[in-house]
Amino acid sequence: PPTTPPPTSPPPVTGLPKHILTGYWHNFDNPAVELRLRDVPAEYDLVAVAFADATSTPGAVGFAVDPGLSASLGGYTDAEFSADVRTLQSRGKKVIISVGGETGRVAVNDAASAVAFANSVHALIQRYGFDGVDVDLENGLNPTYMAQALRSLRSKVGSGLIIAMAPQTIDMQNPAGSYFKLALDIKDILTVVNTQFYNSGAMLGCDNNAAYAQGTVNFIVALACIQLEAGLRPDQVGLGLPAGPGAAGGGIVAPSVVNAALDCLTRGTNCGSFRPPRTYPGLRGAMTWSVNWDVTNNNTFARTVAPH
């Protein structure tokens, strides 16, 4: 298949490699292994701290090391966490704060809450040294005001701000949908969209021809193709998959399947029955939920996908 032409507008300079592996780090206790931030395996290029939560001010978010996590680690303070952010950065990694999550209730629905979002995320960046923000709002968003908030934040931080997103599959089915519209509206400053290709059931791909079953090469490739053909640059598209058993309720695949999807999209090889209309050598990479689940499962995801 033909290769996509190079982008007409250069991507923002963020200091990230051309291809990246993103992983979420848990700021909470669950059955996965608890980790200090500095113990994130070296394979991860971009670490998203999960999560900043809503405060009593509409649009504003806050963050602190979770007391339960701290106790599980035998004591882990905000100061130690901040030092760990700098430690990862000294290793050439980038650390961003993820906003929301499955149970998050962050709402940016008007001009005032957009200001509150930008100011509060900026304060967290100043306090902890984060390199950017990840928008993981699984309960809907307003593309107009979230775009205002992110542009305001970028004006405060500078052009190196990393802006990531982690929409659910349903959020990226149609460019008119709110999440997809946000991505396209801020395409000039957007770093990467790591869609969660899991917990979704079967979905239509870019051929609008069949409902592909999650947990397959066809599903990952056909759904990523929607974004690649509907306006996002290849360097703005990442493949989000669970790190293994325990990490998700559905859509768990062997890391080799992630590599096959990457091959199919970038080279036209190792495809299933679905083949994209062209190849996208600039595809940004992969994301996993989560670093903690990956470590629980012997770091198999990172060790397999990162070198690939």
pLDDT at 250 over 90: no
CA 284 to chain centre: 11
257-278 pLDDT per residue, tens: 999 999 999 999 999 999 999 9
Q: How far is CA 302 from CA 43, 47, 267, in A?
A: 6, 12, 21
CATH architecture of 20-306: Alpha-Beta Barrel (3.20)
- Round to whole Å and give the CA distance between 111 and 14: 27
The whole-number pLDDT of residue 262 equals 98
Nearest 10 degrees: Cα torsion 220, 43, 161, 17? -80
Catalytic residues: 138
pLDDT at 4 over 80: no
Domain borders along the chain are 20-306
Instruction: Choose among 131, 174, 148: nearest CA to 12.
Output: 131
Q: Are 130 and 85 in contact (CB under 8 A)?
A: yes
Which residues have a Cβ under 8 Å from the Cβ of 190 and sit 6 or more positions away? 163, 165, 183, 232, 236
When pLDDT is cut at 50, 70 and 90, the band that residue 209 belongs to is confident
Round to the nearest angstrom and report the end-to-end CA distance of the chain. Answer: 21
46-90 pLDDT per residue, tens: 999 999 999 999 999 999 999 999 999 999 999 999 999 999 999
Percent of the residues in the chain that have a pLDDT greater than 90, as a whole number:
86
pLDDT at 144 over 70: yes
Q: What is the pTM of this model?
A: 0.94
pLDDT at 8 over 60: no
